[in-house]
Amino acid sequence: MGYYTAYGLEIYGNSEECEAFEKDLLEFTKEDDGSYDIEIQELINTGGTYAKLYDIEDWISAIAGRHPNVLIILSGDGEGNFDFWESRWKGDKYETQKAIIPPFETPELKTQSELNNN
C-alpha cells in the first residue's frame, strides 16, 4: 500500500553547484532500466511532488557531502496527522526538525484524554 508525502525541495548556492547536485540526485536515483525516477524529476523541476519517496533523505545524505557549498532543504507534509518536517543539508552537516503543536492551555478546549494526561 504505502504512505504518500507532499515533498518540497529548495536548493541554494552557486547555480553551477546547484545544478551539479540536481544531476547527482537524478543519477543516484535512476531506475533499474536506466531511466530517471519521475517523482525525483518533478521534485527537481518544480520544487515539489506528491509521492512515496521513502529513501529520499538517505539519498540526499549520501550525496550532499559532494556539494559542500549547496544548502539543500527538503520539507514534507505526510498523510498522517501532524507529520510536518523539514530537513537541511550543507556538505556533511545535517539537521531535521518536526513540527509539534503545543498542548492547548484553556481547559474548556481540551478533550477528556488531554485533561486526564495533565
Alpha carbon distance 33, 100 (integer Å)? 41
Residue 32 — very low, low, confident or very high, per pLDDT cuts 50/70/90? Answer: very high
Residue 103 — very low, low, confident or very high, per pLDDT cuts 50/70/90? Answer: confident
17-45 in b/e burial notation, b at 16+ Cβ within 10 A?
A: bbebbbebbeeebeeeeeeebebbbbbbe
Residue 83 — very low, low, confident or very high, per pLDDT cuts 50/70/90? Answer: confident
Mean of per-residue pLDDT scores for the chain: 93
Helix (H) or strand (E) holding 89: strand 84-90
> What 3-state class would DSSP assign to 60?
helix
**Whole domain around residue 90: which residue ranges?**
5-116
Task: Say if CB 74 and CB 60 are below 8 A apart.
Answer: yes
Q: What pLDDT, on the 0 to 100 scale, is given for residue 118?
A: 63
pLDDT tens digit sequence for 86-100 = 999 999 999 999 998
CA distances to 25, 47, 48, 81, 83 from 6, rounded to whole Å, are: 18, 11, 7, 13, 10
Q: What pLDDT, on the 0 to 100 scale, is given for residue 46?
A: 98
Grid cell at residue 56: 529520499
Number of domains in the chain: 1
